[in-house]
Amino acid sequence: MSEALFCIENLRVAYPHRSEEKAQWAVDDVSFILQPGERMGLVGESGCGKSTLGRAAMRLLPPSSQIEGRVTFQGRSVFEMTPEQLRKFRGEAVALIFQDPMTRLDPLMSIGNHCLETLKAHSPQLSTKQAKEKAIATLEKVKIPASRWSQYPHEFSGGMRQRVAIALALLLSPKLIVADEPTTSLDVTVSAQILQELTRLCGEENMALLLISHDLALVAEYCDRIGVMYNGKMVETGSSQAVFQNPQHEYTQSLLKAALHIQTVDESISPSDFSSLPFHRGQHQKSTPILRVLELQQHYTLEPNFVERLLKRQNQTIKAVDGINLELYPGEILGLVGESGCGKSTLSRTILQLIRPTAGKVEFLGQDLTNLSRQQVRASRRQMQMVFQDPHACLNPAMTVGQSIADPLLIHKLAVPANAKQQVLSMLEKVGLKPAQVYYERYPSDLSGGQQQRVAIARALITRPKLLICDEPVSMLDASVQSQVLDLMLELKEEFELTYLFITHDLWLARFLCDRIAVMNSGKIVEIGPTKQIFANPQHPYTKTLLAAAPLLGRA
C-alpha cells in the first residue's frame, strides 16, 4: 500500500439530504490507484461524480456528506488527518485546480499578493525577496509576465485567471495535482502550453496528475491511463490508447461517438471549391449585413501605483479591441476564435453596448448603436441577445426556470404575466426540456450544466431576436451534452431564422458549426474567411499555431 502514491478504495459519497429521503450515491463504489509520476484522466458527463470524487479525496465536501471507503496518500488515511495535517496535505502534498478560477482568487488581493500569501503560509523560511522571485518564475511558466504582478483578478480575462490558479497550484511543488477541468476556459495554444508544462513537471518532479475533463482529445493526448465514470460508477479503466481504440462499455462508445461527431467533417476540398462555399465574399454583396463593425476600439488605461508614480512611470494603455472591422450577414454563423485575453469577449460586450467603445461604430440592422441613448440601446437588445459561457451569469438562483425565461418578455413589454407562461412552456419544449411544466417550476440548482445552458438559450430566444451572440456556450459541457446543445442550436437557427456570432476557443467546434471564421489575436482580426479555407489553407502564422495546438482524437 505504501508504494502507491494515492489510493481510493470502495469510495461512496452522498450529499446531505432530507432525513425522509434515501441517500443518492454521487460516487458509488469507486476504486483506483495512482503511482508517482503517473497521469490519469477521469472523463464522463456532467453530474456523473468526477468532481465529487476529486473533492472527496481532499476532504472538501460539506461536513454532513455521507462518505464510505478509504482514501490514502502515501499509505496515510486522508480521512483520519488532523486539521493541521490537512492544511499541509492540501497544497504541499496535493494541489487542486478548480474549473472556475474565482473560487481560488480573492478579488481584493493583487495577483502578486496571492502568490506571496501561499508561499509564506507553507514556506515561512523564505524571505519576501526569495518568495517573489519564485512566484515570478512560476507565473512566467504559465505565460503571465512580471509586469502584471500588481494587477487584480478583475483586470484579467477568464483564461488569464485560470493561468494564475494553475501557477498557485504549482508554487509548492506538490506530489499530486488534481486538475478539475483546468483548461475549460483556455484557448488551445495556452491549454497545450500549460498541459505540456504540467506533464513535463510530472516527469521531472515525479509528480502525479489526476486530470478531470470532458475533453476526450485532451485526455487522450496528455494521460497515460483513463477512467470513465457514469452515474457515479467507474464503468471502464485502462490505458488511454486501449480505451480510445477499443472502448468496451456502451457509455464510453457513445462519448467517443459524440466527440467524433464534432471533430469529423469532410476534408476533401480544393481551392476551386472556395467560391461555392456558403458565405463566400461574392455572395455577401447580394445581401445587406445584419451587423457591421467599423474601426471598433476598446482601450483601457492602467494608472501607475504609488511606487510607480515615484519612479515617474507613465499610464499604460491596454488595447483590448484595436481597430476591428467585421460584417455579419443574415442567416450566417460567424466563428470568432483566438486565445484567452485576445479581446473576443470584450468585442462581444462592446457590440452589445454593455461597454461603450473608445472609438468606432457598431451598426445593427442599419442603426448605429454607438449614438443611441442607454434606453434606446436597451430596446435594441430585444433583437440582439447573448448566451454566456456560464449559465449562472444570466440565471438568478432565487428565480424558477419559468420566471427566468419570462423575465425578458416582461422587461421588453412583449407579454403580460398571464400569457407569458404559455410562451415559456412552448420555448422549454423547443429546447428539449420536457415535460415543460416540471422544468417550469424548478430552480437552476436542480438542473445539470447542460440543462442550465438550455434554459439560458431559451431565455435568449424568448424575445425572438435576429442575432444571437454566443460566448463559449458549450465549453463547460461534456462531449455528449455538447453535441446535443450544438445540434439544438442548429435546429433553432432554422426555426427562428437566426444569425450567430459564435465565440469559441475550440477550433473543431468552430469547424463543425461555422460558415466563416475570424481569427483574433492581440485585439485585432488577423485572418477571416470561409471555414474550410481557414482549415485547409491558413495564411497567418498565428492561425497555423492555433491549428497545430488543437488536440484531435486519433492524432494523439
- What pLDDT shows up at residue 285? 43
Mean pLDDT in residue range 118-146: 90
CATH code of the domain occupying 34-67+76-260:
3.40.50.300
Tell me which amino acid residue 378 is. R
- Distance set, CA 269 to CA 186, 263, 515, 551 (Å): 30, 16, 15, 22
The pLDDT score that the predictor gives to residue 520 is 92
CA distance 415 to 422: 10
Residue 282 reports pLDDT greater than 90: no
HEC string for 56-95: HHCCCCCCCCEEEEEEEECCEEHHHCCHHHHHHHHHHHEE
Q: What is the mean pLDDT of residues 396-408?
A: 93
What is residue 362's predicted lDDT score, i.e. its pLDDT?
A: 94
Query: Which pLDDT score, from 0 to 100, does residue 123 have?
Result: 87
As a whole-number percent, the residues of the chain with pLDDT over 70 amount to 89
Residue 430 pLDDT greater than 60, yes or no: yes
Report d(CA 28, CA 523) in Å as an integer.
47
Q: How far apart are CA 512 and CA 263, in angstroms?
A: 7
What's the pLDDT score for residue 256?
Answer: 86
Q: Which helix (H) or strand (E) holds 479?
A: helix 479-496
C-alpha cell at 381: 437588445
Q: Of 73-82, 161-170, 364-373, which range is least confident?
A: 161-170
Mean pLDDT, rounded, for 471-498 = 83
What nine digits make up the cell of 4? 502507491
Calculate the dihedral angle through the C-alpha atoms of 318, 322, 328, 333, rounding to the nearest 10 degrees: -50
Comparison of pLDDT for 83 and 450, the residue scoring more: 83
pLDDT of residue 1: 41
Cross-strand partners of 12: 28, 68
What is the arithmetic mean of pLDDT over 165-182?
88
Higher pLDDT, 234 or 17: 234
- DSSP conformation class of 538: -
- How far is the C-alpha of 80 from the C-alpha of 84, rounded, in Å? 12
| Closest to 326 measured CA to CA, from 512, 73, 182, 524 | 524
Average pLDDT over residues 222-234: 92
pLDDT over threshold 70, residue 286: no
Phi-psi region of 59 (alpha: psi -120 to 50; beta: other; left: phi over 0): left
Q: Provide the total of helices (H) and of strands (E) in the chain, helices listed first.
A: 21, 20
Residue 315 clears pLDDT 80, i.e. is over it: no
Helices marked H in 267-412: 281-284, 306-310, 344-351, 374-380, 401-411
Average pLDDT over residues 171-178: 90
Average pLDDT value for the chain: 84
Lowest mean pLDDT among 15-19, 132-136, 359-363, 501-505: 15-19
> Using an 8 Å Cβ cutoff, are 185 and 164 in contact?
no
β-sheet bridge partners, residue 527:
519
- Going through 245-287 in order, the beta strands assigned E by DSSP cover none
Long-range own/partner contacts, residues 241-248 (CB < 8 A, 24 or more apart): 244/216, 244/220, 244/553, 244/554, 244/556
- Cβ atoms of 95 and 172 within 8 Å: the answer is yes
Flag whether pLDDT at 265 surpasses 70.
no
Q: How far apart are CA 191 and CA 554, in angstroms?
A: 18
484 Cβ neighbours under 8 A, 6+ residues apart: 432, 450
Query: Which of 15-24, 367-376, 439-448, 516-525 shows the lowest mean pLDDT across its residues?
Result: 15-24
pLDDT given for residue 206 in this prediction = 85
What CATH topology corresponds to 273-383+463-549? Rossmann fold (3.40.50)
Residue 554 banded pLDDT, cuts 50, 70, 90 = low
In the chain, list all ranges with CATH 3.40.50.300. Answer: 34-67+76-260, 273-383+463-549
Q: Which helix (H) or strand (E) holds 322?
A: strand 316-328
pTM: 0.70
- At residue 283, the pLDDT reads 45
3-class DSSP state of 139 = helix
| Peptide bond connecting 435 to the previous residue in cis, omega within 30 degrees of 0 | yes
pLDDT at 414 over 70: yes
Q: Which of 87-101, 267-281, 441-455 has the lowest mean pLDDT?
A: 267-281
- Please tell me the total number of residues recorded for the chain in this structure: 556
- Residue 401 three-state SS: helix
Per-residue pLDDT, averaged over 451-475, amounts to: 90
Q: Is the pLDDT of residue 216 over 90?
A: no
Average pLDDT over residues 439-460: 87
Structure-block grid coordinates of residue 452 = 442550465
Could you tell me which residue, 62 or 513, shows the higher pLDDT?
Answer: 513
pLDDT of residue 360: 93
pLDDT at 545: 86
- Provide the pLDDT for residue 274: 35
